[in-house]
Amino acid sequence: MKIVITDYKDSMMPTHDYEKEILINGLGSCEVVIYEYQDEKREEFYEIIKDADAILTAFTKIDKEAMDHAPNLKVISMNATGFDNVDLEEANKRGIGVCPVGEYCTIDVAEFTIAILLTLVKNIKIYTQDVEQKHQWRYDVGIANKRIEDMVLGIFGFGKIGKAVGRRARALGMTVIACDPFIHQESGKEWSIEMVGAEEIYAKADIITNNMNANETNTDFFHFENFRKMRKQPYFINMGRGSCVVESDLITALDNGYLKGVGLDVLRDETPDLASHPLIGRDNVIVTPHAAFYTQSSIDELQKLSTENIVYYLRGEKQKVFKLVSNS
């Protein structure tokens, strides 16, 4: 059997020894190929996968054309919770399993969200830049915000991560409201979190965080008209997907004072040109490289679950696969 582990260079794990160990121990004799994917070398990628039984990736596009070049392909395992880079309909037609990781970094992303929230509200970036770059010692260079416990946090997306963010924000004394049309209205009561509509979050929130999964209902969800509805000039944090935000509208909202600041762990493009990106270099904007998941604990869990999904699927033990989203 041949397993191809592939992704953009910047998205690849630092080492793949753990993944190889799990695959070889689980499947016995197998060939494991590590391939740094590049869009401009798509034909080379097709050559690599032409005899692959399994592909392990997060961001490499596996569309109909890719599947045409991989006639032996049986399973696509995602070392991510999302699978929007895979043509699921085509995979279903061909009986190819698609296995995302349903859970591995909830705690890590929730912690990171709170860290970004505190960094924005407490002016940490501005103070650090002022001290280190300008050699100034001024407390009043940043915004004098309210105390955290006097603020309202509005959460879009009240799944596992949204709930974890809400619990941590409540522990800081914040009032938390959440919006999620797919979640039962009673689901927040356990943590004293009220489920509301989007308009109420726009009206009441001092800080808004996006923790939605990407789907057809929330592409371009945060556009200019919705930013303009945000009455309290909130801080906006995106820990969900870049596709949820119209970046040009976000920039316009910042420039027009509809937002105090922004924290983004994702951009629209997963391989952005940072040298010329209009959100880079702003005092009130924090951009991190899709790193919210990144702890040793989460990496170990991610590698373990995604490779075990391949092992179980290829051994015919589909009931053991962590999450199977195709009809294979």
79-116 pLDDT, tens digit each: 988 898 999 999 999 999 999 997 889 999 999 999 99
* Structure confidence by residue, pLDDT tens digits, 186-199: 888 888 999 999 99
Q: Give the model's pLDDT for residue 189.
A: 87
Q: Give the model's pLDDT for residue 103.
A: 83
Contacts of 213 (CB under 8 A, 6+ apart): 81, 82, 157, 159, 240, 241
Portion of the chain with pLDDT greater than 90, in percent? 89
Q: Are 99 and 309 in contact (CB under 8 A)?
A: yes
Q: Give the model's pLDDT for residue 185.
A: 81
Q: Is the pTM of this model over 0.75?
A: yes
Q: Give the model's pLDDT for residue 248.
A: 97
Mark the ranges of the chain whose per-residue pLDDT is less than 70. none
CA distances from 302 to 16, 35, 56, 81, 133 (A): 12, 18, 11, 10, 38
Q: Give the model's pLDDT for residue 289.
A: 93
3-state secondary structure at position 179: strand
Contacts of 219 (CB under 8 A, 6+ apart): 243, 244
